[in-house]
Amino acid sequence: NRESIREKSIVIIGFMGVGKTTVGELVAKKLYRDFIDIDRVIENSFNIPIVDVFKLIGEKSFRQKEKEIIKEYCAQKLKVISLGGGAYLQEDIRKVTLENCIVIFLDITWESWKERLNIIIDSRPVLHGKTMEEIEELFYKRQGIYKSHHSKLETDNLNTIDIADFIVESLK
Ligand code: S3P
C-alpha cells in the first residue's frame, strides 16, 4: 500500500563517478532522511580509503563486506542509500534491494562519462591499469547489471541539484 511505499528506503545505483553520493546526500536532505553511502561505511570501518581497502583485503573480500553492509541497511526503512558502482554485480544485492527498496538508476552516456575520468580515476581501483578501450568495455558491460531497477534517470545534461529534484518529484 501507499504508506509502506512511502517508508521504503531509496537505493541509488549507477556507474562509478555518475554522482550517486552527491545526489543521494541531496535527496536525503530534501526528504529529511538519513543518508548512507556504502563505500563510506566500508572506509570508516577500516579507517582507510577504498583504494587501500582493495590493496589490504582484495576485491573479493571487499565484495563480501559490501554485500553484508547493503543487506543490513536495506532492511531498514526511510533511508537513502548510495551503492558502489560494482554492487549490482552480485545477484544477492540486486535481489535484496529490488525487493525491499526503491531502486533508482542514474544513467549517463559514455561520451559524457569519459570527460570525468581524470577527476575520478585516482580513487577508483577497478579503473587502475586499464586502457581507455578496456574502461569503455567495462562501462558497456556494467550497463547490463543496472538494467534491474525501478526507475532510471538520464543525467547527461543535469546537475546534481536537478537530479535530486527529479528524484524527489518522481516519488510524490
Ligand atoms: C566500484 C565502484 C566504487 C567502489 C569500488 C568498486 C566498482 O564505487 O565501490 O571502487 O566496481 O564499480 P563508486 O561507484 O561510488 O565509485
- Residue 172 DSSP SS3: coil
Whether pTM exceeds 0.80: yes
Distance CA(44)–CA(59), nearest Å, equals: 17
Residue 30 pLDDT grade (very low, low, confident, very high; cuts 50, 70, 90): very high
pLDDT mean over 33-38: 98
14 assigned to a ligand binding site: no
For 3, the enclosing helix (H) or strand (E) is helix 2-7
Give pLDDT tens digits for 81-133: 999 999 999 999 999 999 999 999 999 999 999 999 999 999 999 999 999 99
Residue 14 near ligand 1, beta carbon < 6 Å: no
Residue 85 has a CB neighbour count (10 Å cut-off) of 22
155 labeled binding residue: no
Q: What is the pLDDT of residue 4?
A: 75
Residue at grid coordinates 565484495: 63
Closest residue to atom 11 of ligand 1, CA basis: 86
What is the strand order of the sheet 151-154 is part of? 34-37, 79-82, 10-13, 102-107, 151-154
C-alpha span between 135 and 126 (Å, rounded): 9
Q: Which atom of ligand 1 is nearest to the CA of 125?
A: 10
Closest CA to 61 of 72, 71, 50: 50
Closest CA to 11 of 88, 112, 68, 64: 88
* pLDDT for the residue 18: 98
Would you say 15 and 108 are in contact if contact means Cβ atoms under 8 Å apart?
yes
Q: Grid coordinates representing 69?
A: 553492509
Check whether 2 has a pLDDT greater than 90.
Answer: no
Atom 9, ligand 1: which residue's CA is nearest?
A: 84
Amino acid at 93: I
Locate the domains of the chain by residue range.
2-156
C-beta separation of 95 from 26 below 8 A: no
| Separation CA 114–CA 56 (nearest Å) | 28
Provide CATH code, domain 2-156.
3.40.50.300
In terms of pLDDT, which residue wins out, 6 or 156? 156
